[in-house]
Structure 1
Amino acid sequence: MHNTLALRHASLVEKAAEAFEQAYFLYHCDQGKLQYLNQSFAQLFGLSAQAALQDPFLLLDRVHPEDQAFLREQYQKIMATGAQEGIEIRVKVPGQALKWVCVSCTRVDEGQDRYLAGFATDITKRKEYQNNILKFNSKKNSTLEILSHDLAAPFANIEGMVRLLELELTAANPAVMELVTYIKENAKKGSDLIRDFVDNEFLESSQVVLHLERVNLAQRISIMVENYQQVGGSLLTKNFVLNVPSEPVFAYIDVMKFMQVLNNLVSNAIKFTSDHGTITVALQDQGPTVLVSIADNGIGIPEDLKPFLFDKFTKARRKGVRGEKSVGLGMSIIKNIVELHQGIVWFESKEGEGSTFFVQIPKS
């Protein structure tokens, strides 16, 4: 009687899972065989349940070639730690668009037998939505930075011309002098307002808990640099060079926060590089780690400021080549976000020749 009820309950659970299109499986680790998978799981990989049960490697063949080694690494982690959540892989089903699938597993030990029980979810639409948001955010950030740098020069020019007017109009009508002072104050307010807005964007984004996901960093960096190249046009008279591997380079990052770090480093390079200077963004795959470098041939960092660069409210803050202001918080926030990714950030610089900033983080 007890066994009959247990089987009935198991059947009800299975029917409920099928109703919600939940895909789940049970794998015998030692035998290398699937003990069970439901129809939703099979459909997710474009196979029949019978075919997958007979040959589980058919499922692996559906996994994108670039993700197969990653999936094997995750399997070893599960066997060592007992569970792994949020394993995101790409699945190629003949005749269908590329899918993103998220798999979560736990190891279950029954006597001498070891099993993997888990479920999989199609997250393709979620990934597409996230990608669109990230593209929009990247374009927004680069546009803001370009506008802030481009508008800094006119405001600085207005302030300079007003100072000259003040010298020439010392004996002028008090009402005229009051008007000149009004122009000067508003030019400064406009310049400060633009920079404060960009700075606050970065400050707010840095105060959120990291949400790590597996990201093709080569693709993200390419999009960022392309935005600067496309949005800049005649507004931003800098040359951008991109050096990234042609193959995908995956790393576990909080993509919004990490790309904001890189965007801020590019912003600093723009800030301290004169017109027609060159900014080079590069990515290197170093096996267990990735290295991002952002180099410029700008004015460089004076020796006496280098020890204080990553301090909060650092005394190393200074105006850019177009008079852009600095609150001195950016580099300390960059360091904090990189360290939250278990990484390190450092720089090399020579005054008058330029600077290169390096960010190195583990892939997982």
Structure 2
Amino acid sequence: MALFMEDNNTFGSNFMEQVAQQFGQVYFSYDTSSSVFTHIAPAFEQLWGIKPADVTNPVALLSYVHEDDREFLSHQYQKLKITREQVQAEFRIVQADQRIKWIRLSACYLRSEECPQHLIGGYAENITEEKEYAHNLLKYNNKKNSTLEILSHDLAAPFANIQSAIHALEEQIKPEDPDTRKLIEFIRQDAIKGSDMIRDFVDNEFLESSQVVLHKEQMDVANSISIMMDNYKEREKLIDKHFSLISPEKPVYLYVDTMKFMQCMNNLVSNAIKFTHDNGRITVSVEEKEDHVLLTVADNGIGIPPKMQPYLFDRFTKARREGLRGEKTTGLGMSIIHTIIDLHGGKINFKSQENAGTTFYILMPKE
């Protein structure tokens, strides 16, 4: 302990560097007044692919950053300078061999008597495997959500048919045949329970996920929605609906909680399915504007009655109603969507006309 205290700056610094390197982190400090790095850990070469001595200023590093991420990274740096609060950014770099690596950068102004006020400190780490895992998780989560919605919708009709058949049988059964009536009632209750159980499972998937704190990251919303819509297009025949996507071919980036945002989009498509007749059309579009992204989900279904429209985003809303195949609702779905969009700084509204369809509009800010 005495040795550590006597040479705290040297020993402590080396010790922390070794600890950071063990966890794949590279510490650095940057002087904003002179626009130069005052320290970059030796492990930087393994992370970035160039020697620390070759890094004279941020411009030298920016050339390695993926061109689609440069504006986002610059925005985060300006945010740090204005708020002087810690920021975290995830972005891609392109190495000399054209391999892409994901980096997580955390930085803040150093606040101590020994450090000048214009010194920024932080660390960078390789999160490529983490991002690849998250991408696959999102892909299969989208597939799971769309499959559940399609399953729920597809099974609603058979259960409804069973209940209709039961009603027809009851009219033909003689009053003095109580045993048969009991058997039919048993079948009726099982049909109702089966239908409710499937819908409850789908609803709970969305309700439970909405309780988690937002974890925002940069997301290619055009690509993610394309994956979601492909899942629905593959199953068009199962639910007698036609799906289409209007979206730019180039990436469109938003800074969002990917899972939460995509579940909102999936839920809007699910609602469109429930209130659109067979052979109806559901169209999702993505349009990039100067300072925001506009997303729409449109259908040519039965629309929303004018008397229900003012209450659509309320919790346990008065606007809740069964789907065309008897799908039940909790009255919470649209409220949760509104809350999640609002937490992201976005806005959601809609236009609807009875027997002509509904279109939802989501405006999401670029960060």
Q: Normalised by the size of structure 2, how large is the TM-score?
A: 0.92
Kept in 1: contact 2:109–2:117 (CA 8 A): no
Cα distance between partner residues in 1 of 2:348 and 2:61:
40
RMSD of aligned alpha carbons? 2.2
Q: Which residue of 1 aligns with 2:107?
A: 105
Cα 1:15–1:206, aligned 2, differ >3 Å: closer, same or farther?
Answer: closer
Alignment equivalent of 2:178, drawn from 174, 180, 194: 174
1:41 aligns with 2:33: no
Distance 1:21 1:181 in 2: 64
Given the alignment of the two structures, is residue 201 of structure 1 paired with residue 202 of structure 2, yes or no? Answer: no
Q: Distance in 2 between matches of 1:81 and 1:318?
A: 46
Task: Report Cα offsets for 1:118-176 as digits up to 9, x if no partner.
Answer: 21010111111111111111111100000000000010011011101101113362211
Question: Which SS does the other structure have where 1:180 is aligned?
Answer: helix
Match of 1:274, as an amino acid?
H
Number of the residue aligned with 2:316: 313
Q: Is the Cα–Cα contact under 8 Å of residues 44 and 51 in structure 2 kept in the other structure?
A: no
Match of 1:328? 331
Residues 103 and 124 of structure 2 are in contact (CA less than 8 Å); yes or no, is this contact kept in structure 1?
Answer: yes
Q: Find the counterpart in structure 2 of residue 279 from structure 1.
A: 282
Match status 1:238 vs 2:241 = yes
Q: 1:235 to 1:50 in 2, by over 3 A?
A: same
Structure 1 segments unaligned to the other structure (5+ residues): none
Distance 1:194 1:121, change over 3 A: same
User: Deviation at 1:18?
Assistant: 3.6
C-alpha distance in 1, partners of 2:160/2:105? 55
> What secondary structure does 1:65 align onto?
coil
Cα shift at 1:301: 1.1
State the partner residue of 2:352: 349
2:65: which partner in 1? 63
Q: Which residue of 2 aligns with 1:27?
A: 30
> What's 1:215 paired with?
219
Between 1:315-324 and 1:126-135, the stretch displaced more is 315-324
1:363 alignment partner in structure 2? 366
Distance 1:92 1:329, change over 3 A: same
C-alpha contact 2:296 2:362 (8 A) present in aligned 1: yes
TM-score (norm 1): 0.93
- Residue 159 (structure 2) aligned to one of 152, 155, 163: 155
Residue 85 (structure 1) aligned with residue 87 (structure 2): yes
Q: Does the residue aligned with 1:257 lie in a helix, a strand or coil?
A: helix
In structure 2, how many angstroms separate the alpha carbons of the residues matched to 1:185 and 1:321?
20
For each residue in 1:208-265, what CA deviation from the matched residue of structure 2 results, as whole angstroms up to 9, or x when unmatched?
22222221111111111111112x2421211111112222222121211111111111
Q: Secondary structure at the match of 2:322?
A: coil
For the residue of structure 2 that corresponds to 1:66, the secondary structure is coil
Q: Count the aligned residue pairs.
A: 362
CA distance in 2, matches of 1:345, 1:135: 25
Alignment of 1:138 onto 2:142:
yes
> What residue number does 2:255 align with?
252
Task: Give 1:57's aligned amino acid.
Answer: V
Alpha-carbon separation, structure 2, partners of 1:305 and 1:71: 44
